[in-house]
Amino acid sequence: MSDDAEVTAPAYPTAETTEQFAENIRDVRQRIDAAARRAGRDPEDVRLLPVSKTVPEERLRLAIKAGATFLGENKVQEALRKSENLADIPDLRWAVIGHLQTNKAKFVARFASEFHALDRLKAAEALQRRLEIEDRTLDVYVQVNTSAEESKFGLDPDAVDGFVAQLPAFDRLNVVGFMTLAIFSSDEERVRSCFQTLRSLRDRVCDLAPGGLRPEKLSMGMSGDYEAAVEEGATTVRVGQAIFGSRSVPDSYYWPNPTDGTDA
Ligand SMILES: *Cc1c(COP(=O)(O)O)cnc(C)c1O
């Protein structure tokens, strides 16, 4: 962490009622809209994806009542459990936004509408095979490591063209865009530069259209940095704590060091 050690996460109050959820969602939405307008963008081009990891199903029901209809989860098993326990809610959809171990692809193929962390062919192959079995398709974002931090999953920016060019072979995957996690830093310029890297990479890939693909969407920005992300072109922001409240589980549980993984 070294020079980023001074970063302390702000405390977000825990939403406990439908009204509090509605308020938090409204507040985040207004900030998104304002950021979009500052950048000369149409606020309607930015989607708010509430990230519900660690939040139990009872509280999710309140958030859903307050208007959340699409939820993001980092871990497949946690998402699967919640999708089953909330299966009575019509039209609720799920995005898996965390690293995928290939042996969990079968679950993602079953319940998820989106996957935001595609960063290797092995995962694409596993998803394709399982989606064929389920006779489904999946919207996917290619994850890029824009911060050059070892603790982040995602492709090296230089590897993206070659990777994307191979994706048309997987006809069950709709390659819709790119995803990144910015550096965790109080230096806003360094955070912004991660978002700018993703945007210019997207522009370049869409110009080249490798394999005929034009993945135009940008999934970037979380509770601490989503306004900057919107100013830099995000089309989806993934916001957890600012809606649900601070998490007690450390982020390292959700973002393990990829070099420690057994299935990287
Ligand atoms: C948890 C998580 C988020 C949301 O982070 P918050 O700080 O709760 O807004 C966004 N993206 C990914 C990949 C996550 O795991």
- With respect to residue 141, please indicate whether it lies within any of the assigned structural domains: yes
Is the pLDDT at 87 greater than 90, yes or no? yes
Domain of residue 175 covers 8-245
Ligand 1 touching residue 97 (CB < 6 A): yes
Residue 258 is predicted with a pLDDT of 66
Ligand 1 touching residue 254 (CB < 6 A): yes
User: Which runs of consecutive H residues, i.e. helices, occur in the chain?
Assistant: 18-38, 57-65, 76-85, 105-111, 121-134, 160-165, 188-208, 226-231, 241-244
Q: Is the CB of 126 under 6 A from ligand 1?
A: no
Per cent of the chain over pLDDT 90 is 85
Predicted pLDDT at 112:
98
Whether residue 256 lies inside any domain: the answer is no
pLDDT in tens, 138-147: 999 999 999 9
pLDDT band at 253 (very low <50, low <70, confident <90, very high): confident
Atom 7 (ligand 1) nearest CA:
223
Query: Residue 53: inside a domain, yes or no?
Result: yes
143 in ligand 1 pocket by Cβ < 6 Å? no
Any domain includes 259:
no
Centre of ligand 1 from the C-alpha of residue 133, in Å = 30
Return the residue whose CA atom lies nearest to atom 6 of ligand 1.
240
Banded pLDDT at 260 (limits 50, 70, 90): low
Does residue 1 fall inside a structural domain?
Answer: no
Domain presence at residue 2: no
For residues 163 and 213, give the distance between their C-alpha atoms in angstroms, rounded to a whole number.
Answer: 11
User: What integer is the mean pLDDT of 39-49?
Assistant: 98
- Cα-Cα end-to-end distance for the chain: 22
Answer yes or no: is pLDDT of 4 > 80: no
Residues recorded for the chain: 264
Residue 38 scores a pLDDT above 70: yes
218 CA from centroid of ligand 1 (Å)? 15
Ligand 1 atom closest to 251 (CA): 1
Is ligand 1 within 6 A of the CB of residue 76? no
Indicate if the pLDDT at residue 86 is higher than 60. yes
Is the residue at 254 inside a domain? no
- Is the beta carbon of 152 within 6 A of some atom in ligand 1? no
We report the CATH number of the domain holding residue 150 as 3.20.20.10
The answer to whether residue 248 scores a pLDDT higher than 90 is no
Angle at 190 between CA 189 and CA 193, to 5 degrees: 85
Q: Give the mutation target among 51, 181, 183 for probing the ligand 1 site: most ligand atoms within 8 A of CB.
A: 51
Those residues whose C-beta lies under 8 Å from the C-beta of residue 97, and which sit 6 or more positions away, are: 49, 51, 72, 73, 74, 115, 116, 117, 179, 219, 238
Q: What's the structural domain count of the chain?
A: 1
Residues 6+ apart with CB under 8 A from 98: 73, 74, 75, 76, 117, 254, 255
pLDDT computed for residue 262 by the predictor: 44
pLDDT tens per residue across span 125-183: 999 999 999 999 999 999 999 998 877 799 999 999 999 999 999 999 999 999 999 99
Q: Give the tokens for residue 161.
A: 């063209």
Quickly state the pLDDT bin for 2 (edges 50, 70, 90): very low
Give residue-wise pLDDT tens across range 16-36.
999 999 999 999 999 999 999
Mean pLDDT of 110-133: 98
Q: What is the predicted pLDDT for the residue at 140?
A: 98
CA of 163 to the centre of ligand 1 (A): 25
pLDDT at 151: 75
Residue 139 inside a domain? The answer is yes
Residue 200 has pLDDT above 80, yes or no: yes
What proportion of the chain, given as a percentage, has pLDDT over 70?
Answer: 93
